[in-house]
Amino acid sequence: MILAAINYLDVLKSASGIELMVLVLLAFASAYSWALIGMKVMQLRKARGESVSFLDTFWKSSRLDAIYSTSQKLDASPLARVFRAGYEELSKLAKDKAGGEAMSEKLGGIENVERALNRASLAEITTLEAHISFLGTVGSTAPFIGLFGTVMGILGAFNEIAEKGNATITTVAAPIGNALLATAAGLFAAIPAVVAYNSFVSRIKIFDTEMANFSNDFLNIVKRHFFK
């Protein structure tokens, strides 16, 4: 195989300072991207599993306090956290009702619950989107950084050839081939980052839609039972 035939140690030894800097930068970007991808995959997978469990509990249970108790055990679920925000705001309004003030007359009333749900949804989206912008940045810039390293390597190779006055295929092939390694490194860092970024954005959009639908369903239930 071509990759196995390359002596990477010799490439690094013959690389210029700029080429080495580019390769180190791309290696760091690639390593951090893979770590981030692994973390996000586990986070989203856990969020999906617990959200399915929460929705099953929500639609099967007839008591909000029982649902709230279950939701506290599903802290990785964005839907569970959105529900807790709405339930806690509803509980505050219920205490005011116990004090003699009708919930429908409470300042804000159902709007307070709606705002609490919206704030929680935005907070959950922010949490899910944390750090994935780095993947987008790596995906869009790594090929150009690699290309920059290649161009600088080729320029260095041609300058060396001009100084020695020897432009045979033997003297040209090795330095130019080594310089192309930077472009390959850029693509190696960029391709998985782009694929992961697009996948995560798509999955987060699904969570966003689910939280919006859940908030509407929860508000309808609250209106029917508490704001008649």
Mean pLDDT of the chain, nearest integer: 84
Confidence of residue 82 (pLDDT cuts 50, 70, 90): very high
> What's the rounded Cα separation, in Å, for the pair 228 and 92?
17
Task: Tell me the pLDDT band of 2, cut-offs 50, 70 and 90.
Answer: very low
Q: 57-79, pLDDT tens digit by residue?
A: 999 988 888 999 999 999 999 99
% of residues, the chain, pLDDT over 90: 54
User: Which tokens belong to 133?
Assistant: 């912008």
pLDDT at 107: 45
pLDDT at 1: 44
Residue 198 above 50 pLDDT? yes
Mean pLDDT within 154-169:
70
Section 178-190 average pLDDT: 87
Q: Pull the structure tokens for residue 27.
A: 């290696």
Instruction: Report whether 120 contacts 86 (CB < 8 A).
Output: yes
Residue 86: which of 209, 221, 207 has the closest Cα? 221
- Residue 167: how many CA atoms within 13 Å on its side-chain side? 5
Show me where the domains of the chain are located: 14-226
Check pLDDT > 70 for residue 12.
Answer: no
Residue-wise pLDDT for 117-151, tens only, equals 999 999 999 999 999 999 999 999 999 999 998 88
**Number of helical H runs and strand E runs in the chain:** 8, 0
pLDDT band at 103 (very low <50, low <70, confident <90, very high): very low
Please give the structure tokens belonging to residue 101: 């003030």
C-alpha to C-alpha distance for 14 and 192, rounded to whole angstroms: 28
The answer to whether residue 188 scores a pLDDT higher than 70 is yes
